[in-house]
Amino acid sequence: MWFQIDVGLFRVVLEAAQACNISTVDFSPDIRQADLRFGDFQANGVLPYAKLYRLNPRHVAEQIVEKLRSMGDFSEKIEVNVAGPGFINFKLSGVFLAEWLNLYKSENDYGSAMAQNWSGKRIVIDYSSPNTAKQMHVGHLRSMNIGDSIHRILKFCGADVIRDNHVGDWGTQFGILIMIIKKKGLRTSDLSLEEIESLYQQGSALAKENEDSLSVARNELVKLQNGDSENLEIWEAINKISQAAFDEIYTEMGVSFDHALGESFYRDQVHRIYQELTEKHIARVDNGALCVFHEEHEQFSEQPFIVRKADGASNYATTDLATVLYRTEVLHADELIYVTDGRQRDHFQQLFLTVQKWYVAFGRKCPDMQHVWFGTILGEDGKAIKTRSGSPIKLKELLNEAKTRAKEIVDEKSKDLSNLEKQHVANVLGIDSIKYADLLPNRTGDYVFSWEKMLSFDGNTAAYLLYAIARIKSILRKCNCDVTNATADCLETEAERNLVRKLTYFPIILSKAAKELRPHHICTYLFELTGEYSAFYNVDRVLGEQANITSRRLTIILRTLNILETGMHLLGLETLEKM
């Protein structure tokens, strides 16, 4: 019995095709979820194959089906037939579905069944990566959520994933900050992040209108980069304050990292980059700056990738190159994933092209590199939320608002809970709602931010999933038998079947989310699964039925619960017992 039924079907269909002398080079079964009208799964691969060889697709499909019917489970447990122009449809029997339910029981079972898919692969994933000296705002939400979820998904699928928060702690913001802090004679360690942020705004306004301040700021930056102890002290204090503020938010959001190796970590390693790229003629000096051009590329043959500025300073390209080196040489990564805003696509394309040439030149094994980009956060007016001029919504403020709104709803609807329970429910509901709303849309494409949408508790929201889970748990509490031993015999009602077939799609969705690095597939799936559960709940009772029916339905709701909770965990969402 397969956990990933699509993978199992893929193999047997391929085997049957081979037995029919069909070339497996040109034929792939193409198994997918089927429309309810036709069956549970379908194989579409016959059509392109038949087209290629100018065969009658229905005839080819019939050959394969005939072979399948003589194999293993197909005689009794899986009904298979040909439909339309040459689709092969599979309908799983109630016995087959019940066996599947009986065999795969827990998050651990699902995890170990999926873990073969990506095992042996070491991946470094880079996400969140805020700049220090500034508070996080809504614009920081997506990298954090998408990155964290992708990490969880890949890990669940068996990969060895290392999370690295590539904090922007070595940027030009420090020149301005040190300038203004010294000018005002402030003690850095007494400041809050809010105050530091405001100082930065004052400083940069000053630098804008006053040439002298600008050059002082530049000079302070150079001193910092050259290791001036006073400036380093200020710099360290600012980073420490920033990190503490970030950690508060990470804790609240349930996001964590294995490393937080910021840009400053690589500051002494940039010379090796200049040296190696120059030595192999990958980079050359152009207008005083050390640049990489990619002659074969229509865009990047002209558009430079600057790895050292004309004034001799490094920039983000340099640290990104040094970071690749560290992640492959020290962390032994096979694959690197960067979760950032889509506006950095050119940068990452150039980075990847450069790394490929650089690694080939030195005979190093080049890692797979993926830029997992996402769209811009837009305001209600359809324009990007501006960081400084507009009114950026602080992440901290958003989280507090979410919890406040959730508390109002909980106070109104959860009258049976104690005050302590209400507060807990409100916190989870508030945070989950924000995360879910953020993960729900496909990451490519812009993002219209609205309080209303973020903090809504009706419809396709975290509250809907949490509510279904709470109802399942309520049934389990009311059931006086030992639910852990419940098993299913054979599914009977339509609602049972529809719910369980949806459960069996979980591995497909998971694979898709992992392959495309798009968590929203899981959101969509969980919402649909919950819909099937609600439909089941309305027509089929669990408690108070004959023993075998209750046992079967308990099994069904237990597995539904497990898959809902597993999916929620993969999205980084907490679940509740009651609400």
Taking contact as CB under 7 A, which single stretch among the options 13-21, 355-363, 434-442, 567-575 is the one that binds RNA?
434-442
Please tell me the distance from the alpha carbon of residue 93 to that of residue 99, in angstroms, as a whole number. Answer: 10
Taking contact as CB under 7 A, which single stretch among the options 39-47, 113-121, 222-230, 247-255 is the one that binds RNA?
39-47
Q: Is 481 in the site for RNA (CB under 7 A)?
A: no
Residue from 259, 267, 413, 569 binding RNA (CB under 7 A): 413
User: 528: closest CA among 567, 488, 484, 579?
Assistant: 567
Residue from 3, 10, 27, 87 binding RNA (CB under 7 A): 87
Q: How far is the CB of 345 from RNA (least distance, A)?
A: 6
Please tell me the distance from the alpha carbon of residue 137 to that of residue 396, in angstroms, as a whole number. Answer: 8
Helix locations, 254-313, DSSP H: 270-279
Q: Is 100 in the site for RNA (CB under 7 A)?
A: no
Strand 289-292 with 305-308, pairing? antiparallel
Sign (positive or negative) of CA dihedral 162, 513, 317, 358: positive
Q: Is 284 in the site for RNA (CB under 7 A)?
A: no
Amino acid at 186: L
Residue from 176, 429, 439, 568 binding RNA (CB under 7 A): 429
Please tell me the distance from the alpha carbon of residue 187 to that of residue 102, in angstroms, as a whole number. Answer: 65
Strand 377-378 with 447-448, pairing? parallel
Please tell me the distance from the alpha carbon of residue 449 to that of residue 140, in angstroms, as a whole number. Answer: 13
Residue from 12, 13, 17, 47 binding RNA (CB under 7 A): 47
Q: Is 38 in the site for RNA (CB under 7 A)?
A: yes
Please tell me the distance from the alpha carbon of residue 401 to that of residue 421, in angstroms, as a whole number. Answer: 19
Taking contact as CB under 7 A, which single stretch among the options 62-70, 101-109, 139-147, 524-532 is the one that binds RNA?
524-532
Residue from 247, 441, 490, 498 binding RNA (CB under 7 A): 441
Residue from 63, 354, 460, 511 binding RNA (CB under 7 A): 460
Residues 343-372 as x/- pattern, contact with RNA by CB under 7 A: xxxxx-------------------------
Q: Retrieve residue 159's tokens.
A: 């990969």
Q: Is 578 in the site for RNA (CB under 7 A)?
A: yes
Question: For residue 146, what is the enclosing H or E element?
Answer: helix 141-156
Q: φ and ψ at 367, to 5 degrees?
A: -75, 160
Residue from 69, 396, 524, 574 binding RNA (CB under 7 A): 524
Query: Looking at the chain, how many residues does it have?
Result: 579
Residue from 215, 219, 474, 548 binding RNA (CB under 7 A): 474
Please tell me the distance from the alpha carbon of residue 504 to that of residue 497, in angstroms, as a whole number. Answer: 11
Q: Is 375 in the site for RNA (CB under 7 A)?
A: yes
Q: How far is the CB of 227 from RNA (least distance, A)?
A: 17
Residues 225-254 as x/- pattern, contact with RNA by CB under 7 A: ------------------------------
Q: How far is the CB of 198 from RNA (least distance, A)?
A: 19
Q: How far is the CB of 1 from RNA (least distance, A)?
A: 23
Please tell me the distance from the alpha carbon of residue 513 to that of residue 530, in angstroms, as a whole number. Answer: 19
Instruction: Please check whether residue 169 is in contact with residue 132, taking contact to mean a CB–CB distance below 8 angstroms.
Output: yes
Residue from 9, 10, 13, 42 binding RNA (CB under 7 A): 42
Please tell me the distance from the alpha carbon of residue 157 to that of residue 171, in angstroms, as a whole number. Answer: 36
DSSP for residue 25: T
Q: Is 390 in the site for RNA (CB under 7 A)?
A: no
Please tell me the distance from the alpha carbon of residue 542 to that of residue 449, in angstroms, as a whole number. Answer: 41
Instruction: Restricting to residues 112-151, name those near RNA by CB under 7 A.
Output: 131
DSSP for residue 140: G
SS3 state of residue 259: strand
| Nearer CB in complex with RNA: 99/371 | 371
Binding-site size for RNA (CB under 7 A) equals 96
Residue from 89, 323, 511, 575 binding RNA (CB under 7 A): 89
Strand 122-126 with 160-164, pairing? parallel
| Nearer CB in complex with RNA: 251/299 | 299
Q: Is 177 in the site for RNA (CB under 7 A)?
A: no
Instruction: Please check whether residue 89 is in contact with residue 80, taking contact to mean a CB–CB distance below 8 angstroms.
Output: yes
Q: Retrieve residue 385's tokens.
A: 């939320």
Q: Is 34 in the site for RNA (CB under 7 A)?
A: yes
Q: How far is the CB of 573 from RNA (least distance, A)?
A: 14
Q: Is 160 in the site for RNA (CB under 7 A)?
A: no
Q: How far is the CB of 442 from RNA (least distance, A)?
A: 3
| Nearer CB in complex with RNA: 268/458 | 458
Q: Is 419 in the site for RNA (CB under 7 A)?
A: no
Q: Is 201 in the site for RNA (CB under 7 A)?
A: no
Question: What does the DSSP assignment read for 162-230?
Answer: EEE---B-SSTHHHHHHHHHHHHT--GGG--HHHHHHHHHHHHHHHHH-HHHHHHHHHHHHHHHTT-HH
Taking contact as CB under 7 A, which single stretch among the options 136-144, 179-187, 355-363, 442-450 is the one that binds RNA?
442-450
Taking contact as CB under 7 A, which single stretch among the options 109-117, 182-190, 358-366, 461-469 is the one that binds RNA?
461-469
Q: Is 392 in the site for RNA (CB under 7 A)?
A: no
Q: Is 171 in the site for RNA (CB under 7 A)?
A: yes
Residue from 121, 223, 267, 453 binding RNA (CB under 7 A): 453
Instruction: Please check whether residue 139 is in contact with residue 392, taking contact to mean a CB–CB distance below 8 angstroms.
Output: yes
User: 531: closest CA among 498, 562, 556?
Assistant: 498
Taking contact as CB under 7 A, which single stretch among the options 43-51, 59-67, 179-187, 245-253 is the one that binds RNA?
43-51
Residue from 419, 538, 546, 547 binding RNA (CB under 7 A): 538
Q: Is 318 left (phi over 0), alpha (psi -120 to 50) or beta?
A: alpha
Strand 368-374 with 335-341, pairing? parallel
| Nearer CB in complex with RNA: 157/475 | 475
Q: How far is the CB of 550 from RNA (least distance, A)?
A: 8
Residue from 442, 487, 493, 498 binding RNA (CB under 7 A): 442
Q: How far is the CB of 251 from RNA (least distance, A)?
A: 23
